[in-house]
Chain A
Protein backbone atom coordinates (compact mmCIF):
# COMPACT_ATOMS: atom_id res chain seq x y z
CA UNK A 1 0.00 0.00 0.00
CA UNK A 2 0.93 3.64 -0.35
CA UNK A 3 3.07 4.91 2.46
CA UNK A 4 3.62 8.39 3.78
CA UNK A 5 7.17 9.63 4.26
CA UNK A 6 7.70 11.67 7.37
CA UNK A 7 10.74 13.87 7.99
CA UNK A 8 12.79 14.43 9.97
CA UNK A 9 12.97 11.25 12.02
CA UNK A 10 14.36 13.13 15.03
CA UNK A 11 14.49 16.75 16.05
CA UNK A 12 16.13 18.21 19.11
CA UNK A 13 15.43 21.85 19.89
CA UNK A 14 16.08 24.36 22.60
CA UNK A 15 12.97 25.42 24.46
CA UNK A 16 11.50 28.43 22.71
CA UNK A 17 12.67 27.43 19.25
CA UNK A 18 10.23 26.46 16.52
CA UNK A 19 9.73 22.95 15.19
CA UNK A 20 8.31 21.57 11.95
CA UNK A 21 7.61 18.04 10.78
CA UNK A 22 6.63 17.15 7.24
CA UNK A 23 4.56 14.37 5.79
CA UNK A 24 4.85 13.58 2.06
CA UNK A 25 2.96 11.26 -0.23
CA UNK A 26 3.53 10.33 -3.86
CA UNK A 27 -0.22 10.17 -4.42
CA UNK A 28 -3.07 12.54 -3.66
CA UNK A 29 -4.53 12.19 -0.20
CA UNK A 30 -8.22 12.46 0.55
CA UNK A 31 -7.37 13.64 4.05
CA UNK A 32 -4.58 13.48 6.58
CA UNK A 33 -4.62 13.14 10.33
CA UNK A 34 -2.00 14.05 12.92
CA UNK A 35 -1.39 12.26 16.21
CA UNK A 36 0.91 12.89 19.16
CA UNK A 37 2.43 10.20 21.35
CA UNK A 38 4.03 11.30 24.60
CA UNK A 39 6.98 9.22 25.89
CA UNK A 40 5.56 6.03 27.39
CA UNK A 41 2.08 6.90 26.18
CA UNK A 42 -0.24 6.07 23.35
CA UNK A 43 -1.04 8.04 20.18
CA UNK A 44 -3.65 10.72 20.64
CA UNK A 45 -5.54 12.36 17.80
CA UNK A 46 -4.71 16.02 17.20
CA UNK A 47 -6.44 17.07 14.01
CA UNK A 48 -7.69 16.13 10.56
CA UNK A 49 -7.16 18.11 7.36
CA UNK A 50 -9.39 17.57 4.38
CA UNK A 51 -9.33 20.54 2.02
CA UNK A 52 -6.61 21.57 -0.40
CA UNK A 53 -4.48 24.35 1.13
CA UNK A 54 -6.23 24.02 4.47
CA UNK A 55 -4.59 25.61 7.51
CA UNK A 56 -5.72 24.89 11.05
CA UNK A 57 -4.36 26.17 14.32
CA UNK A 58 -4.41 24.82 17.84
CA UNK A 59 -2.72 27.36 20.11
CA UNK A 60 0.98 27.14 19.16
CA UNK A 61 0.43 24.32 16.66
CA UNK A 62 -0.24 25.08 12.99
CA UNK A 63 -1.27 22.34 10.60
CA UNK A 64 -1.17 22.74 6.82
CA UNK A 65 -2.38 20.62 3.93
CA UNK A 66 -0.67 21.23 0.61
CA UNK A 67 -2.46 22.63 -2.39
CA UNK A 68 -1.94 19.38 -4.28
CA UNK A 69 -3.01 17.36 -1.21
CA UNK A 70 0.21 15.37 -1.35
CA UNK A 71 1.95 16.81 1.65
CA UNK A 72 1.23 18.21 5.07
CA UNK A 73 3.14 19.88 7.85
CA UNK A 74 2.87 20.45 11.57
CA UNK A 75 4.61 23.54 12.93
CA UNK A 76 5.05 24.31 16.61
CA UNK A 77 5.90 27.88 17.54
CA UNK A 78 8.09 28.48 20.59
CA UNK A 79 8.35 24.89 21.77
CA UNK A 80 7.82 24.00 25.40
CA UNK A 81 8.88 20.91 27.32
CA UNK A 82 5.27 19.74 27.19
CA UNK A 83 5.63 19.38 23.40
CA UNK A 84 8.04 16.47 23.82
CA UNK A 85 6.89 13.32 22.06
CA UNK A 86 6.54 11.67 18.69
CA UNK A 87 4.29 13.20 16.07
CA UNK A 88 2.70 10.94 13.48
CA UNK A 89 0.78 11.70 10.34
CA UNK A 90 -1.74 9.18 9.07
CA UNK A 91 -3.27 8.69 5.65
CA UNK A 92 -6.21 6.46 4.90
CA UNK A 93 -7.55 3.99 7.40
CA UNK A 94 -4.25 2.65 8.69
CA UNK A 95 -1.16 4.17 7.08
CA UNK A 96 0.94 5.96 9.65
CA UNK A 97 4.18 7.74 8.92
CA UNK A 98 7.23 6.58 10.87
CA UNK A 99 6.92 9.63 13.11
CA UNK A 100 9.11 12.54 14.13
CA UNK A 101 10.48 12.35 17.62
CA UNK A 102 10.81 15.77 19.24
CA UNK A 103 12.97 16.43 22.26
CA UNK A 104 13.12 19.83 23.93
CA UNK A 105 16.01 21.06 26.02
CA UNK A 106 14.88 23.39 28.84
Chain B
Protein backbone atom coordinates (compact mmCIF):
# COMPACT_ATOMS: atom_id res chain seq x y z
CA UNK B 1 0.00 0.00 0.00
CA UNK B 2 1.34 3.40 -1.00
CA UNK B 3 1.77 5.47 2.10
CA UNK B 4 3.68 7.97 4.18
CA UNK B 5 4.43 6.87 7.72
CA UNK B 6 5.43 8.98 10.70
CA UNK B 7 6.65 8.06 14.14
CA UNK B 8 5.84 8.66 16.86
CA UNK B 9 2.19 9.65 16.47
CA UNK B 10 2.09 11.33 19.84
CA UNK B 11 4.93 12.75 21.90
CA UNK B 12 5.08 14.70 25.14
CA UNK B 13 8.49 16.02 26.02
CA UNK B 14 10.22 18.70 28.06
CA UNK B 15 11.94 21.86 26.97
CA UNK B 16 15.45 21.28 25.67
CA UNK B 17 15.31 17.53 25.22
CA UNK B 18 16.35 16.68 21.67
CA UNK B 19 13.88 14.67 19.64
CA UNK B 20 13.47 13.24 16.17
CA UNK B 21 10.26 12.56 14.29
CA UNK B 22 10.75 10.04 11.52
CA UNK B 23 9.05 10.10 8.14
CA UNK B 24 9.18 7.45 5.46
CA UNK B 25 7.46 7.00 2.10
CA UNK B 26 7.29 3.91 -0.11
CA UNK B 27 6.29 5.60 -3.37
CA UNK B 28 9.81 6.50 -4.60
CA UNK B 29 8.84 10.17 -4.42
CA UNK B 30 11.52 12.76 -5.00
CA UNK B 31 9.92 15.60 -3.07
CA UNK B 32 9.31 15.50 0.68
CA UNK B 33 8.36 18.18 3.15
CA UNK B 34 7.37 18.91 6.72
CA UNK B 35 4.47 21.07 7.82
CA UNK B 36 3.17 22.21 11.14
CA UNK B 37 -0.52 22.81 11.67
CA UNK B 38 -1.78 25.28 14.25
CA UNK B 39 -5.38 26.46 14.80
CA UNK B 40 -6.30 29.31 12.50
CA UNK B 41 -2.97 29.20 10.68
CA UNK B 42 -3.47 26.26 8.38
CA UNK B 43 -0.46 24.30 7.22
CA UNK B 44 2.89 26.04 7.24
CA UNK B 45 5.92 24.50 5.63
CA UNK B 46 8.99 23.98 7.80
CA UNK B 47 11.52 22.38 5.43
CA UNK B 48 11.42 20.60 2.12
CA UNK B 49 13.66 18.36 0.07
CA UNK B 50 13.72 18.14 -3.70
CA UNK B 51 15.85 14.99 -3.66
CA UNK B 52 18.51 13.11 -1.73
CA UNK B 53 20.97 15.48 -0.04
CA UNK B 54 18.98 18.51 -1.21
CA UNK B 55 17.04 20.35 1.49
CA UNK B 56 15.82 23.91 1.89
CA UNK B 57 13.93 26.10 4.32
CA UNK B 58 10.22 26.64 4.16
CA UNK B 59 8.30 29.42 5.86
CA UNK B 60 8.96 28.50 9.49
CA UNK B 61 12.35 26.70 9.75
CA UNK B 62 13.62 28.21 13.02
CA UNK B 63 14.29 25.57 15.66
CA UNK B 64 14.17 22.64 13.24
CA UNK B 65 16.65 20.58 11.26
CA UNK B 66 16.16 17.94 8.59
CA UNK B 67 18.24 15.51 6.61
CA UNK B 68 17.69 13.49 3.45
CA UNK B 69 20.29 10.76 3.28
CA UNK B 70 17.98 8.29 1.57
CA UNK B 71 15.16 8.92 -0.84
CA UNK B 72 12.48 7.32 1.31
CA UNK B 73 13.32 8.97 4.67
CA UNK B 74 13.07 12.57 5.80
CA UNK B 75 13.43 12.93 9.58
CA UNK B 76 12.57 16.14 11.43
CA UNK B 77 14.92 17.03 14.26
CA UNK B 78 14.26 19.41 17.12
CA UNK B 79 17.61 19.99 18.80
CA UNK B 80 16.22 21.96 21.74
CA UNK B 81 12.43 21.93 21.71
CA UNK B 82 10.53 24.85 23.19
CA UNK B 83 6.83 25.19 24.14
CA UNK B 84 6.10 27.24 21.01
CA UNK B 85 6.89 24.13 18.98
CA UNK B 86 3.88 22.38 20.47
CA UNK B 87 1.90 21.58 17.34
CA UNK B 88 0.60 18.95 14.95
CA UNK B 89 3.26 17.95 12.44
CA UNK B 90 2.72 16.41 9.04
CA UNK B 91 5.21 14.91 6.66
CA UNK B 92 4.24 14.90 2.99
CA UNK B 93 5.68 13.59 -0.25
CA UNK B 94 5.02 14.02 -3.95
CA UNK B 95 6.39 12.64 -7.17
CA UNK B 96 8.06 15.91 -8.02
CA UNK B 97 8.66 19.34 -6.58
CA UNK B 98 6.66 21.35 -9.09
CA UNK B 99 3.31 22.99 -8.48
CA UNK B 100 1.17 20.43 -10.20
CA UNK B 101 1.95 17.40 -8.09
CA UNK B 102 -0.47 15.88 -5.62
CA UNK B 103 0.91 15.71 -2.10
CA UNK B 104 0.51 12.61 0.07
CA UNK B 105 0.44 13.23 3.79
CA UNK B 106 1.45 11.08 6.71
CA UNK B 107 -0.94 10.54 9.63
CA UNK B 108 0.57 13.34 11.72
CA UNK B 109 2.56 13.63 14.94
CA UNK B 110 1.08 15.54 17.82
CA UNK B 111 3.92 17.07 19.83
CA UNK B 112 3.57 18.71 23.21
CA UNK B 113 6.56 20.49 24.75
CA UNK B 114 6.23 21.42 28.41
Q: Which residues of A contact B (CB under 8 A)?
A: 1, 6, 9, 30-31, 33, 35, 41-45, 48, 50, 88, 90-94, 96-99
Quick check: is B106 within 8 A (CB to CB) of the other chain? yes
Contacting residue for B42 out of A31, A45, A92, A96, CB 8 A: A96
A93 touches B97 (CB 8 A): yes
Main SS class of interface, A: loop
A42 touches B90 (CB 8 A): yes
Known interface pairs A93-B99, A94-B45. Does A45 touch B59 (Cβ–Cβ under 8 Å)? no
A88 touches B100 (CB 8 A): no
Known interface pairs A43-B105, A88-B43, A99-B42. Does A31 touch B100 (Cβ–Cβ under 8 Å)? yes
B99 touches A45 (CB 8 A): no
By a CB distance below 8 angstroms, the chain B residues around A50 are 100
By a CB distance below 8 angstroms, the chain A residues around B98 are 93
B100 touches A94 (CB 8 A): no
Known interface pairs A42-B90, A96-B43. Does A33 touch B102 (Cβ–Cβ under 8 Å)? yes
- Distance A76 CA – B77 CA, assembled complex (angstroms): 40
